[in-house]
Structure 1
């Protein structure tokens, strides 16, 4: 089982256990934030989503000894951290928690509003491109007619005989006003 440091909080390494699924021990995070580990573990276990994801894993602790620790999947750590109430942490960690929660609010806002902005811009681009395609289709149709007329004239010129040319040359051309 490999471990990897994914974050540091107040000189405490937050480790990622890289086995079949990536897991993060809860206790070192609680200690670093100076929040009550037992109450956080109970809160996690009673959560509809997090509760079913808390396995115990043997972890090498900071003192080098292996201990069983409750873990949660790495992909859920950020959501759990968001639920920590700044009122429940010591004064030294309160500012970090508030800053983190604000970043989460901003990330959620950006995720959901950026998607709407993307769809709006995509729709405008689609409408503009559809207009351009239609304009080019009409231009192509007009140019195709002109090309066909030019080919017909070219073929008429190719097929013209000397005799036809002579007869045409002798014709009197009169321009009548419309």
Structure 2
């Protein structure tokens, strides 16, 4: 006997049932699992009862899988449930046993006779369609995210190029001003030495250069830069005297190479 398996939701439990030749059969295992009963123990008891008709039915589920399972007619379920003593099930399951005794036959009968459905039902192949639709949706979201990330990278690169252009322009203007005054800024002198200073090292070197200028009676000069604001410029002979200080406060060559890459 082959029957098309239906899964009926009853108070959160999935009950297996088939309509075979107009007779609704219920899967013994699904009821046992719901009530915390042992399948083999219940089958042994049912096979001893004259009123019970346990039938092995090959079921065909929505995925096209075939499985043989023990089932009993729906109208015998109340008799079966009546033989289950509440003291034999866990205390938390006893209210559920009462619900099964009162409602399960009515619910299954309405499901098969009146077409009432409890929870989503799918025709064969629908589950695969849902799965494929979910996979396609996930793929589209991944592509959209990748596209957005690419656009963001392009915007950041364009912004970085614009910042570099502004800095280059400002540096050229600063170089011109330095040449006009015969002086050089801390960063300008570091560029001449082809070194990259550590973070905030330019501030310390600027203070040292300004102090040496004052000791020699040289007035510090400040000029305006579009990129860096007010910048101090110092005589080249002062900065030449600080060459070792510049080298000590420069990033190691390896770090400069990593930063450049």
TM-score, normalized by length of structure 1?
0.47
